[in-house]
């Protein structure tokens, strides 16, 4: 393991005071890829999850994450690091669980990045084939990975401007469809059904599998903390971006899915989602806004996917950078670009990992939509939810040990309740993962538990490091500190 000390002329600092809360908010929202979810993930969740009860699942998870954010933001002034989960878990529970959490988080984001590349490669390949150009999905995905790296190197400020344009386009199309559906219902005097929010619709056998997609839709709101080193007034901008992100994601998906279900009718919506998951939202958009608008929507699905991979590349690169600053991984990953002050080496490594995984999937002959997407999404969603649960417990532990003026609601009640709810959601997700994967029970549970097993192995490594090299082990804890 390389030493964590830096050389005098080595550049390892990210660019300070670069972005405000709204740019962070954009980075989080584009990580979720709203149009990507509406165009593919949501119909799949309706089919494989709890059907018309999906909007209710979004509201439940949204409430749990708002509680989580209360404690997470209360602890943020005491954590001076861009490592997000690693920093918070280490601060609250100690270095050994923190190292395990860091491993789980990185692997979760990497596998979600692979899922996004599989979808993007598929849609790009299909689009190019309509022009007589034949490029396999993995070729398109590899090219997108290179492009994402080059944009990441340009720096967070440039990336934020690009993501603003992409996010406004895709969210604007979703809101336009929502508005047109409301106007159609009013014009036809057709009352909108509230059945999707009824308990009997939400808590079905498919509630657990639906959480895979719902958690994936929220994935990234906690990454607001990763940009703390580059944010202006981080103690205010990071919490604000996080709260706005959670509310926006929950409200957008719950309302948009509810209106889409009403458009097709409660009796027929599940059948439509099952027969044409990739075309469900686009077919509604075509009816409401016209064929040309639907074609533009198809293009925006691809830009939404690229925005998601660009945002995830930024997240993973900054995780590598944060972990490298204390020697948890190759120290060269902590170096930043001389001009742009971006983690360019960490971004390059992220690109190489993504391209390698894409080529492995292609070599194995896996279908990007039917195999790579769901199989990569399962460990990703399980890992992120596990890290969030650990972080909620870490908040409670931190404030129990350190007496501060933070209210009991923010330091104990909200994080404790959120930890219990998130643990329940994690159990529901793992217990019903077989319904989603379509594989045998052994392979399904192995897929879900693989990322958690990696975290356990990383924790054992940290424990062994404490025994072999107490000095190196102590350096890991220096990544976070009281101001």
CATH number at residue 141: 1.20.1740.10
Domain that holds residue 162: 21-477
Residue found by looking up tokens 């879900």 in the block: 448
121 vs 119: CA distance, rounded Å: 5
Looking at residue 483, its pLDDT comes to 35
- Walk along the chain (483 residues) and give the pLDDT tens digit of each residue: 444 444 434 455 555 556 778 878 877 787 777 888 888 789 988 988 899 999 999 999 999 999 999 998 899 888 866 556 778 898 899 989 988 998 998 999 899 999 999 989 998 998 899 889 999 999 999 999 999 999 888 866 666 677 678 778 889 999 999 999 999 999 998 899 999 999 999 999 889 889 888 988 887 776 676 666 666 777 788 888 889 999 999 999 999 999 999 999 999 999 999 888 778 998 999 999 998 888 888 888 888 888 888 878 988 888 788 778 767 777 788 888 778 778 889 999 999 999 999 999 999 999 998 789 888 988 998 999 999 999 999 999 999 999 889 999 999 999 999 999 999 999 988 988 887 777 788 888 999 999 999 999 999 998 998 999 888 787 666 654 333
Residue 1 lies in a domain: no
Residue 36 lies in a domain: yes
Residue 366 lies in a domain: yes
SS3 annotation, the chain: CCCCCCCCCCCCCCCCCCECHHHHHHHHHHHHCHHHHHHHHHHHHHHHCCHHHHHHHHHHHHHHHHHHHHHHHHHHHHCCCCCCHHHHHHHHHCHHHHHHHHHHHHHHHHHHHHHHHHHHHHHHHHHHHCCCCCCCHHHHHHHHHHHHHHHHHCCHHHHHHHHHHHHHHHHHHHHHHHHHHHHHHHHCCCCCCCHHHCHHHHCCCCHHHHHHHHHHHHCCHHHHHHHHHHECCHHHHHHHHHHHHHHHHHHHHHHHHHHHHHHHCCCCHHHHHHHCHHHHHHHHHHHHHCHHHHHHHHHHHHHHHHHHHHHHHHHHHHHHHHHHCCCCCCHHHHCCCCCCCCCHHHHHHHHHHHHHHHHHHHHCCCCHHHHHHHHHHHHHHHHHHHHHHHHHHHHHHHHHHCCCCCCHHHHHHHHHHHHHHHHHHHHHHHHCHHHHHCCCHHHHHHHHHHHHHHHHHHHHHHHHHHHHCHHHHHHHHCCCCCC
Looking at residue 6, its pLDDT comes to 43
Of 75, 71, 98, nearest to 235 (Cα)? 75
User: Which residues lie below 8 Å from residue 105, measured CB to CB, with a gap of 6+?
Assistant: 84, 85, 86, 319, 383, 384, 387
Looking at residue 338, its pLDDT comes to 77
Residue 146 lies in a domain: yes
CB 316 within 8 A of CB 342: no
Residue 322 lies in a domain: yes
Residue 9 lies in a domain: no
User: Which residues lie below 8 Å from residue 443, measured CB to CB, with a gap of 6+?
Assistant: 437
Residue 308 lies in a domain: yes
In total, how many domains does the chain have?
Answer: 1
In this prediction the pTM is: 0.85
Residue 483 lies in a domain: no
Looking at residue 188, its pLDDT comes to 92
């Amino acid at each position: 393991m390389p030493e964590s000390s830096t050389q005098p002329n080595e550049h390892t600092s990210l660019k300070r005071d670069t972005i405000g809360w709204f740019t962070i908010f954009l980075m989080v929202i584009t990580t979720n890829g709203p149009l990507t979810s509406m165009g593919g993930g949501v119909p799949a969740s309706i089919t494989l999850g709890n059907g018309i009860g999906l909007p209710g699942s979004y509201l439940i998870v949204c409430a749990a994450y708002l509680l989580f954010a209360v404690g997470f933001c209360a602890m943020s002034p005491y954590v001076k690091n861009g490592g997000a989960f690693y920093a918070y878990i280490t601060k609250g529970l100690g270095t050994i669980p923190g190292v395990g959490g860091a491993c789980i988080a990185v692997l979760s984001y990497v596998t979600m990045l692979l899922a996004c590349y599989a979808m993007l490669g598929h849609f790009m390949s299909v689009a190019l084939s309509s022009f007589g150009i034949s490029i396999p999905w993995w070729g398109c995905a590899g090219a997108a990975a290179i492009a994402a790296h080059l944009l990441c190197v340009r720096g967070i400020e440039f990336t934020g401007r690009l993501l603003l344009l992409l996010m406004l386009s895709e969210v604007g199309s979703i809101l336009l469809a929502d508005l047109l559906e409301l106007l159609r219902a009013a014009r036809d005097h057709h009352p909108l059904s509230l059945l999707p929010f009824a308990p009997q619709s939400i808590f079905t056998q498919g509630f657990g599998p639906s959480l895979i997609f719902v958690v994936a839709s929220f994935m990234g709101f906690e990454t607001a903390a990763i940009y703390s080193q580059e944010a202006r007034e981080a103690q205010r901008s990071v919490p604000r971006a996080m709260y706005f992100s959670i509310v926006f994601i929950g409200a957008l998906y719950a309302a948009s899915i509810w209106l889409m279900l009403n458009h097709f009718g409660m009796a027929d919506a599940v059948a439509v989602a099952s027969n044409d998951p990739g075309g469900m939202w686009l077919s509604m958009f075509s009816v409401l806004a016209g064929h040309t608008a639907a074609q533009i929507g198809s293009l925006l699905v691809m830009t939404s996917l690229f925005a998601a991979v660009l945002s995830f590349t930024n997240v993973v690169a900054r995780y590598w950078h944060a972990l490298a600053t204390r020697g948890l991984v190759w120290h060269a990953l902590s170096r930043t670009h001389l001009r742009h002050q971006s983690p360019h080496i960490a971004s390059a490594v992220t690109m190489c990992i993504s391209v390698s995984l894409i080529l492995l999937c292609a070599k194995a002959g896996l279908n990007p939509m039917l195999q790579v997407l769901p199989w990569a999404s399962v460990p990703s969603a399980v890992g992120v939810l596990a890290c969030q649960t650990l972080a909620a417990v870490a908040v409670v532990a931190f404030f129990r040990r350190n007496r501060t003026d933070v209210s009991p609601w923010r330091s104990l009640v909200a994080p404790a309740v959120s930890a219990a709810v998130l643990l329940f959601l994690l159990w529901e997700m793992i217990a019903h993962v077989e319904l989603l994967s379509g594989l045998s029970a052994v392979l399904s549970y192995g897929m879900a538990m693989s990322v958690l097993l990696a975290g356990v192995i990383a924790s054992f490594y940290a424990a062994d490091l404490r025994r072999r090299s107490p000095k190196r082990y102590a350096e890991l804890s220096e990544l976070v500190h009281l101001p």
